Structure 1
Amino acid sequence: MSDSPDCGPRAHAGPSRRTFLAAGAAAAGAVAVSGGGAGLVRAEPSALQSANPAGTTLDRVAVPGTTRKGGYRKLTEGAGWPLYVRQELARAGASRESTRTALASFVQLTDIHITDVQSPARFEYVHPVQGPAYRPQEALGTQGAVALIKRINQVAAGPFTGRAFDCVVSTGDNTDNHELIELTWFQKLLSGGSITPNTGAKDRFEGVQALGSDLYWRPELASRDIYKDRGFVQIPGYLRAAMRTHHSPGLNAPWYAVFGNHDDQFLGTVPNGILDWMYLSSVKFDLPGTDPAVSEIAGAMSSNPAALAPLLSQLRVTGPAFDVTPDARRRPFSPQEFVRSHFNPAVKGAGPIGHGFRDPDGPTWYTFQIAPGVRGIAMNTCNSLGISDGSMGEKQVRWIERKLREFRDELVLVFSHHTSTTMTAQLPNPETPGEKQYLGPDLVAVLKQHKNLIAWVNGHTHKNEMIAHRGATAKHHFWEINTASHIDFPQLARIIEVADNGDGTLSIFTPLLEADSPYTADEDDLTQVGLASLYRELSYNDLHYDADLIGKAADRNCELLLTHPLR
């Protein structure tokens, strides 16, 4: 399941579909930053005078509009979010705008969660307990992704430096349930090609939105469900349109992918091998919310996945379930298959061959050149026994240190799925047997030793957040840049621009992007564009919507100041 925090009043115990997060309103005005100090974080409207904000959230953003009976809110166009200058790690020079030189410009995608919504290997029925087990918009993930890819291609360059995008990096949870078909769809989205988001039967939809109980939004049925009680409406033809073949233009820039826990494990939380029989099953379980097994399954997912095996084996006998058509394309892929698939000529797109991976049989981590003098290191922070949170084996840590020394004369950004605060999995990792596991604070300590490391870019939490990490000297500081997902509202991607200010400092700009689709959805428009618009609006109206995921205003569009470590 997704590692996003759930909706409503939730207590956050680690970002996963198994956890809860206390809901809070997104900050929209003055921002208090712990340890910041007066004047170190401020909005700077004048910065846009020399920028090109078109197509970014600096220009406009989706905001709630009119409310209809039940509470469903249409979205509409709102004013853009401001740029915040963050000076916790270095002070901003007054003349930097006139002396600035662009060094790199790229886009971060994260937590796109391309989902086979008809798969029998899912637990949608636990969503009353764990919200992201089911999302009303999830059948439209590929259409929403195409709209985002179109936006990236349209914007094409950083709004502050004007530098064309050097690349696009997807920081994990590229798939939702590490199914081969999900990986195929993801790679076609980024490289370009036709996608038919349907599995099982070719002529009908076999997921819970057609055949399930009133726990789900059933868009093609006139009968009530708990979503229609909240203002969702009947949309005849919706599911047939969702399954229809459509086309992605692919990214115009080279792209790279990082391994996430949903690319690694059953629903991102269950160790592999325990429930693998479910992928090719001919039945799909659909328990009523009153069934005691719902809370048992939800609890096992959170703390004891091994207990799921007997629970699900019992359901094979007792049900309740409905029949689905088995599909061999649903089989799970291994980390090695994930790497190897990137060498398939059919998914080359804008390249490069291998998309950063050096060897079809090599490790799930690699280095790549973002721009001249700017290097990327793609890390794997997944622990296959970590429920959803991460860690890193000692072999990879030592490799990262060697690469940071090897590229000591270049600026380096590291990329991972997990954040420094969600690398908490202390269990041994089956993928790195016998190795010591490094947690978030351990990795931060390693990175601080290398002054050429300027940023750690990641996802996993589905929330926008900036963390200033202070090293022993100003040249050992770095920023951690955490970005919201593209499955949960506000459905974003992030531009990251690196600039030399010519005064001994660097600026890292972080403007956010929304998909290229109308803000106000038209339920009668079942074209690819119309479905992409619905994808966003439905996500805002999800019963488990969490306003906290948007992040504080100073964690969205930022200019992050840093002492230039190589000057």
Structure 2
Amino acid sequence: MLTPASVINRRNLLIASGVAAAGTGLGLASGSGTGEATASPVAQARTVLGAAPAAAAVPAAAPSKAGTTLQSVAAPHGTAGYRRLADGPGWKRVLRTDLAAAKSGRDTRRTALACFVQLTDLHLSDVQSPLRTEFLRAAQLSGWRPQETLTVAGVASLIERINGLRGGSATGAPIGFVMTTGDNTDNNSQLELDWFLTAMSGGRITPNSGDPKGYEGVQDSGLKLFWQPDAALRDADKQLGFPRLPGFLDAAIREVTSPGLTVPWYSTVGNHDMLSSGAYAAGSFWTDLATGSRKLQTVSATEAAKLLKTIRSGKDPKGTAVQDAIRAHLPKARTVTADERRAPFSPHQYLAAHLAPKYKGAGPVGHGYTAANLADNQLYYAFTVAKGVIGVSLDTTDRGGHYNGSLGTAQLRWLEKTLNAHKDRHVLVFSHHTSTSMANLNPDPAKPHEKRHSGAELLALLNKHRNVLAWINGHSHQNRITPHGGFWEITTASHIDFPQLARVIELADNHDGTLSLITTLVESAAPHTTDFGDLSQTGLASLYRELAFNKPGASTALAGKPADRNTELLLKKR
């Protein structure tokens, strides 16, 4: 559990480097920045970055497709039932000229300005928590993921892949940093937050909670509604071809070792990080449920359908209907081992955790957040990406509840001031939510009179500023790249649903009046082909991918179209 003392020391201040290569950034403004809370937001930005220098080239090596989806992609064999994965052909790069015309010879004269990796929607999950709503699967099979037990092994393998990349596949520029764009955790749990920060920074994780001697969750419940991997029971998933894997659950809760990222990394917050079940405003009910000993596993299909309809409507941001259902069924719920580490974390605790020395890893201190963020309880900041390029990390989660997002007026004004203060720099904007998933305008309980602003309003603001090159986000679990006036919106699939991906993004000056944003998707380092007899950490990471592909009711559209995957996105240089 994150104690007050440990929490206060859990985030490190960002230190600007001033070198051309991307990586060691400096937070800015409005409670985020140098840690000098006395300076105004714009003054802090100017103090931190000084006069705007021209963007400088990043030293490059020979480009390589190795380890990317340009080379190979996990692909299914067979046409029906449970399908095994194996090596498939890579995805070709697609040139997109929606915003600028392509000029010949640019690939021989271009220089790299920055190169980094985006991770999103890791959803590190304590699957045994009483807070989880697996019982909604009674209404639709896709309401629960058979692969969720293996999120920690999967993320460790993804980090291994990133560490092994030789650089950008188009420019050869070294990876300068990694940015997560939210839903780093799944249940707003202190235990999950420790797993996330340990995975990113390096160390050992035991993905177990409750009883230290064994698993206590829906996958050993004996309920046919859920895949029972160790049992002979003919459950709903085995009827679709899922295997019986004796020893799976013991293996799934064994210690995992994460190598930690070897480059600096930054953090952006998502709705699952700040809201109970990713949807409900904080409250004592959720805390008591998460840390208690009663776990509701199933309700009738009719009741589950009603609850799903209410959740999706957005009209119950506090989760009153779900609370009432849980209270009504608790007397018949499963008794599990209580665990205080499952308690929800507050925004302040989230910030403080990032500042803790034990989670520094490759840095920078705070991973984007600063002491000023902690003092002001603000989860947005700006940082140096490279010489002449800054990044802006937004907090789009609506604390009033519901899984879609919005921005408060104070943050929107801060963003506009930051963009104005750095009008001579290229700007990359990061957030969790997409432009189309920001129509949730529930008031923030901490700021009940502050207006909330939609994705359409944010698009309008970004389009007013010619220095904005890209808005990079996640949330939808689907690859999608959309042109907006003068910049690109780059949305990347998750690392919990299939395909499980991260995205390398290279920024290059073509020296012909255009810039290129070059995007390349990568999978984890785990082999595409699984071995049901291999329950090692690597074997589980492979199985994590295959189970995700075979999840009943899984969308087949999450990979996006070829123009949403490996791309070269042209922009006019301004």
- Does the pair score TM above 0.5? yes
> Aligned pair 1:266/2:266, yes or no?
no
Measured in 1, the distance between the counterparts of 2:140 and 2:113 equals 43
Q: Does the CA contact (< 8 Å) of 1:192 and 1:249 recur in 2?
A: yes
In the other structure, the counterpart of 1:31 is none
Counterparts of 2:211 and 2:238 in 1: how far apart (Å)?
A: 27
Are 2:520 and 1:511 aligned? yes
Q: Hey, what does 1:17 align to over in structure 2?
A: none
Three-state SS of the structure 2 residue aligned to 1:491 is coil
Q: Deviations over 1:1-50 (max 9, x none)?
A: xxxxxxxxxxxxxxxxxxxxxxxxxxxxxxxxxxxxxxxxxxxxxxxxx8
User: 1:480-510: CA deviations, max 9, x gaps?
Assistant: 0000000000000000000000011000001
TM-score by length of 2: 0.86
- Structure with greater contact order relative to length (CA < 8 Å, sep ≥ 6): 2
What is aligned with 1:159?
A: 169
- Contact 1:386–1:426 (Cα < 8 Å) also in 2: no
Q: How does 1:357-506 map to 2 (within 5 A)?
A: 357-359=369-371, 360-362=374-376, 363-470=378-485, 477-506=486-515
1:316 paired to 2:327: no
Equivalent pair of 2:138/2:299 in contact (CA under 8 Å): no
Question: Distance in 1 between the 2:155 and 2:241 partners?
Answer: 25
The answer to whether the Cα contact below 8 Å between 1:213 and 1:288 also exists between their aligned partners in 2 is: no
Alpha-carbon distance in structure 1 between the residues aligned to 2:145 and 2:78: 22
Count of residues paired in the alignment: 505
Q: Give CA-to-partner distance per residue, 1:316-341, whole Å, 9 cap, x none.
A: 23x2x211000000000011111111
Identify which range, 497-506 or 544-553, moves more after superposition: 544-553
* CA distance in 2 between partners of 1:519 and 1:115 (Å): 23
Aligned to 1:295: 305
Match of 1:534 in 2: 543
The Cα shift of 1:432 comes to 3.4
Distance in 1 between the 2:274 and 2:551 partners? 26
Task: Report which stretch shifted further, 267-276 or 409-418.
Answer: 267-276
**Cα distance change on mapping 1:156 and 1:182 into 2, 3 Å:** farther
Give the CA deviation at 1:410. 1.4
Matched residue, 1:210: 220
1:18-33 to structure 2, matched below 5 A, reads none
Structure 1 residue 431, shift from structure 2 partner: 4.0
Percent of aligned positions that are identical: 47
Match of 1:12 in 2: none
Please tell me the residue identity of whatever aligns with 2:330. R
Aligned to 2:248: 238
**Any conservation in 2 of the 1:212–1:286 contact (CA below 8 Å)?**
no
1:384 Cα offset (Å)? 2.1
Q: Deviations over 1:420-454 (max 9, x none)?
A: 00001122122433111110110011111111111
The one-letter code matched in structure 2 to 1:315 is H
| Alpha-carbon distance in 2 for matches of 1:288, 1:358 | 44
Quote how far apart the aligned CAs of 1:112 are. Answer: 0.5
Q: How far off its partner does 1:133 sit? A: 3.7
Shift of 1:361: 2.8
Contact kept in structure 1, 2:296 and 2:326, CA below 8 Å: no
Equivalent of 1:179 in 185, 189, 192: 189
User: SS of 1:90's equivalent?
Assistant: coil
**Distance in 1 between residues matched to 2:533 and 2:129, nearest whole Å:** 27
Q: Aligned pair in 2 of structure 1 residues 241, 156: CA closer, same or farther (>3 Å)?
A: same
Deviations 1:273-315 (A, max 9, x none): 153321012111122544x432233233223322222222111
Residue 289 to residue 62, structure 1, CA distance change in 2 (3 Å): farther
Q: Which runs of 5+ in 2 are unaligned?
A: 1-61
Hey, what does 2:52 align to over in structure 1? none
* Letter aligned with residue 312 of structure 1: I
Aligned to 2:44: none
**Displacement, 1:371?**
1.5
Partner of 1:218: helix, strand, or coil?
coil
| Distance of 1:132 and 1:418 partners within structure 2 | 22
Deviation of 1:128 (Å) = 4.1
Runs of 4+ in 1 over 6 A off after TM superposition: none
Shift in Å, 1:131: 4.9
Is the partner of 1:550 in helix, strand or coil?
Answer: coil
- Choose 383-392 or 220-229, whichever is displaced more: 383-392
For the residues of structure 1 that align with 2:254 and 2:150, how far apart are their CA atoms? 10
CA drift of 1:386 comes to 4.2
Q: How far did 1:557 drift?
A: 0.4
Task: Give the drift of 1:556.
Answer: 0.4
Report the Cα distance in structure 2 between the residues aligned to 1:508 and 1:454, rounded to whole angstroms. 8
* Aligned-partner residue type, residue 535 of structure 2: L
Q: Separation in 2 of the partners of 1:130 and 1:333?
A: 30
- Aligned mates of 1:170, 1:131 — CA distance in 2: 29
Alignment-derived partner of residue 94 in structure 1 = 104
1:523 partnered with 2:532: yes
Instruction: Quote the RMSD (CA, aligned, Å).
Output: 1.4
Which secondary structure state, in structure 2, belongs to the residue aligned with residue 361 of structure 1?
helix
TM-score (norm 1): 0.87
Residue in 2 that maps onto 1:280: 291
Deviation for aligned residue 1:196: 0.3
State the distance in 2 between where 1:130 and 1:86 align. 38
Structure 1: how far apart are the matches of 2:467 and 2:435?
A: 19
Q: Which residue number in structure 1 is paired with residue 14 of structure 2?
A: none
Q: Which runs of 5+ in 1 are unaligned?
A: 1-49, 471-476
Partner SS for 1:387: coil
Match 1:551 to one of 548, 560, 571: 560
